[in-house]
């Protein structure tokens, strides 16, 4: 399915009904299929307790979404995702993000107060996105044609107080999110170590899934 962004960009998404829907936002040079489907996240969410609903989205320039020449700031990506929530008829969601997806999720929670309940941020700390790291990830993931996204995201970071309750998670060998434990502590937010995982394989961690599902569980 597709939602239409403010500038006409078609944003692909998929959704499954269920209580407490979870919005999943992938990272740079990846897509929903690779980040969430093939790593078992969809299955884990559906199989937990009464089962979570979910909505996956391919950010502009990625996966099945359009690849416009501009519009890759965190704020614009957040507006794209908000268009998806509106199209899907979802008033409130919890959010799980990975890497660059955290910048979009953070902005989404700021942009649309009340639409995001809790948020799990994997593979990201407080450092600004930098061009060299993004180019390296693109090369490792065989992601081409992403120069506009690199231009739009470079220099952006998670800033200000968390807009909603957040949980951070990262692998011990994740150089991109190496400062995540200290950054989470500076915000008074919980952090979960994913053991000897790297930036590229931490997303499949069972510990990541279990920690996220526990954090998103309703109180009581």
The residue written with tokens 């499954």 in the block is 16
Q: What's the pLDDT tens digit per position in 128-154? A: 999 999 999 999 998 889 999 999 999
CATH of the domain at 127: 3.40.50.1820
| Chain Cα centroid distance, residue 20 | 17
Beta bridge partners of 22: 54, 94
pLDDT band at 44 (very low <50, low <70, confident <90, very high): very high
Work out the average pLDDT over 56-76.
Answer: 97
pLDDT at res. 220: 43
Contact present, 169 and 212 (Cβ < 8 Å): yes
**What is the domain extent for residue 146?**
2-216
Average pLDDT over residues 210-220: 84
pLDDT of residue 52: 85
As a whole number of angstroms, the distance between CA 180 and CA 174 comes to: 9
Residue-wise pLDDT for 96-110, tens only, equals: 999 999 999 999 999
The pTM of this model reads 0.97
Q: Examine the pLDDT at 219 and tell me if it is beyond 80.
A: no
Q: What percent of the chain has pLDDT over 70?
A: 98
Q: Is the pLDDT of residue 217 over 90?
A: no
The per-residue pLDDT for 54 is 95
Q: Which distant-in-sequence residues (6+ apart) come within 8 Å of 206 by Cβ?
A: none
Q: Tell me: the pLDDT tens digits for 149-196?
A: 999 999 999 999 999 999 999 999 999 999 999 999 999 999 999 999
Give the chain's domain count: 1
- pLDDT averaged over every residue in the chain: 95
What gap in Å lies between CA 194 and CA 205, rounded to an integer?
A: 7
């Amino acid at each position: 399915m597709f939602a239409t962004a403010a500038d006409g960009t078609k944003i692909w998404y998929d959704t499954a009904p269920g209580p407490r829907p979870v919005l999943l936002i992938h990272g740079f040079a990846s897509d929903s299929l690779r980040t969430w489907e093939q790593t078992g996240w969809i299955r884990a969410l559906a199989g937990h307790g009464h089962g979570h609903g979910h909505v996956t989205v391919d950010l502009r320039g990625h996966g099945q979404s359009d690849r416009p020449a501009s519009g890759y700031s965190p704020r614009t990506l957040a507006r794209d995702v908000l268009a998806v929530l509106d199209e899907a008829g979802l008033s409130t969601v919890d959010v799980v993000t990975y890497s660059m997806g955290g910048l979009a999720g953070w902005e989404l929670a700021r942009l649309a107060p009340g639409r995001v309940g809790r948020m799990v941020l994997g593979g990201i700390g407080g450092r600004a996105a930098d061009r060299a790291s993004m180019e390296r990830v693109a090369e490792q993931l065989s992601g081409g044609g992403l120069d506009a996204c690199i231009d739009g995201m470079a220099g952006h970071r998670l800033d200000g107080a968390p807009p909603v309750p957040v949980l951070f998670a990262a692998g011990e060998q994740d150089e991109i999110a190496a400062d995540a434990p200290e950054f989470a502590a500076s915000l008074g937010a919980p952090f979960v170590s994913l053991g000897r995982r790297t930036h590229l394989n931490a997303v499949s961690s069972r510990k990541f899934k279990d920690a996220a599902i526990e954090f998103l569980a309703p109180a009581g």
